[in-house]
Structure 1
Amino acid sequence: MGLKVNDLLKIKDVSDLIGDFTDSTWINEAVKGAPLVVVRCAPLINDMVPVGIRGTNRSQRCAATILCSSIVKIITPEQLAEGKLWRTSKHIRETHIFKTLEAVDSILGSHDITWGPTGSVGFELASGVETVTPTSDLDVVIRVPSILSVKTGKDITKDLLTVPTKVDIQLETPKGSVALAEYARGDSPVLVRTVNGPKLVKNLWSENENLEG
């Protein structure tokens, strides 16, 4: 199915969720309002997809799994950016995030980089539920199947210093996820988040290097 971390998955209802939710009475209401879950960074085993459930406040987060057969629709962060959906969102246009989205789109576009918003911004753009608050940062994912130079990473990091809101960019590489700010420092090895936990990696695009725990 080609699912990737940070993809949003539309499900039918709360009955599609698998997990222990005895202490999470908010889940029914959250899924009823927006039947979307996000793919987590964890192993996909036997058609069981690891997902996260998002409530209306920061404390309402819960891990679960769903069957691949329960997926109604896949919404990628890249689709949200490609459609520039923030321009048609009345709530987003009224928040501090709007100018940041415009700036990030321009900065990454100048480097010919495909990107997508995640976190509260991505969720609101996909669901229509107002999850962006005055204190929200902008979380971004960039999938980089081939080498991104450290120089380009440094240039982007420098450009981001001019935007109105803090931007946290995660690079999704063949070896796992790493913060752009960390990669741009040029240090080696770098700490990468993988489906099997954090690992130290010298070359994010080498097929031969073994990951070090």
Structure 2
Amino acid sequence: MTVAAHPRVPRPSEDPHGGPRRLVGSLAALGGRHPGAHDLLLMQCTGSLLPVGGGELPAWARWVLRAHPWVTVARAPSAAGSPADTPYPVRCTRDASAGAETWIPVTVRGPDCGQRLDALAPWAAVARTLRPEQLPERLGLLPPARTAAIPALAVLPAAGELVADHRLAWGPIGAIAYELATGEPVAGPLSPLRLVLRAPQPVSRRDALQLRRALSRLRVPLQAELETRHGAVQLAEYAASPLTVTLLTPHGPREVHDPWFPREL
């Protein structure tokens, strides 16, 4: 059975987000790929979100999701189970042939600064995913005046060139990522440019220091994290060459000597 789109959501042919949406179905419909931290998910059925800790979605979250049904994947463990395992029924028509549900940890961004809601989203209700690497190409979809008014948006191409010199896949995260995905003007003139740098292979401290220094010349507040196979470490911390660094993992932060080969200290 096909789920009708929310009345305020354009049809696929009119989709301003750059592509057709997936109908609700099983995990296999997306080739089995699970989203990672900082991915943005377009929800087909926002009423199926479950706040962490139980209860109903607050009024502000329902209002935000009606206008822009995007959520950000959090760095936390996924959960498995069927809709019958949830505290109350999931209000979303689902493919009857779908197997046990996979619940993705997500964050809903509120209209006020710092307003966030941690929730679980059923993978079957995800219509589309956008990875940070896909977002820079969407810069041209924003009005030129908007890009010029927000320094973190204006320097995005220059940041990409600096990262490309080090042969790392990259993408924006945080407020800049959300604005590029949704078109909603959530970033401000003082918003930092936050980047995730994909580093499945080890990066030397020397290269990290060179990249950090190059990025610091962009003259905007900038935060970058190196994403390894085991989690993320802040570029500035790693480049400073401390004996240990904080590795951010789905199960919480860990103090390690090497973020690519973490061992218990």
1:36 pairs with 59, 65, 70, which one?
70
Note if 1:99 corresponds to 2:133: no
Amino acid at match of 1:167: L
**Cα deviations by residue, 1:145-186 (Å, 9 ceiling, x for unpaired):** 111111111001111221121110011112211110001112
Aligned residue runs from structure 1 range 1-213, under 5 A: 1-19=33-51, 20=54, 22=56, 24-46=58-80, 47-81=102-136, 83=137, 85-90=138-143, 91-206=146-261, 209-212=262-265
Distance 1:5 1:211, change over 3 A: farther
Backbone CA RMSD of aligned residues: 1.6
**Cα deviations by residue, 1:111-166 (Å, 9 ceiling, x for unpaired):** 22211001010000001111111221111111211111111110011112211211
Amino acid at match of 2:142: S
Amino acid at match of 2:129: I
The equivalent of 2:30 in structure 1 is: none
Contact 1:150 1:183 in 2 (8 A): yes
CA distance in 2, matches of 1:21, 1:134: 36
Contact 1:193 1:199 in 2 (8 A): yes
Contact 1:116 1:140 in 2 (8 A): yes
Residue identity (%): 27
CA distance in 2, matches of 1:203, 1:143: 16
Distance 1:66 1:13, change over 3 A: same
TM-score normalised by structure 1 residue count: 0.91
Amino acid at match of 2:209: K
CA distance in 1, matches of 2:198, 2:245: 17
TM-score normalised by structure 2 residue count: 0.74
Secondary structure of the structure 2 residue equivalent to 1:51: strand
Highest Rg: 1 or 2? 2
CA distance in 2, matches of 1:210, 1:96: 39
CA distance in 2, matches of 1:111, 1:32: 40
Distance 1:60 1:175, change over 3 A: same
Contact 2:176 2:187 in 1 (8 A): yes
Secondary structure of the structure 1 residue equivalent to 2:219: coil
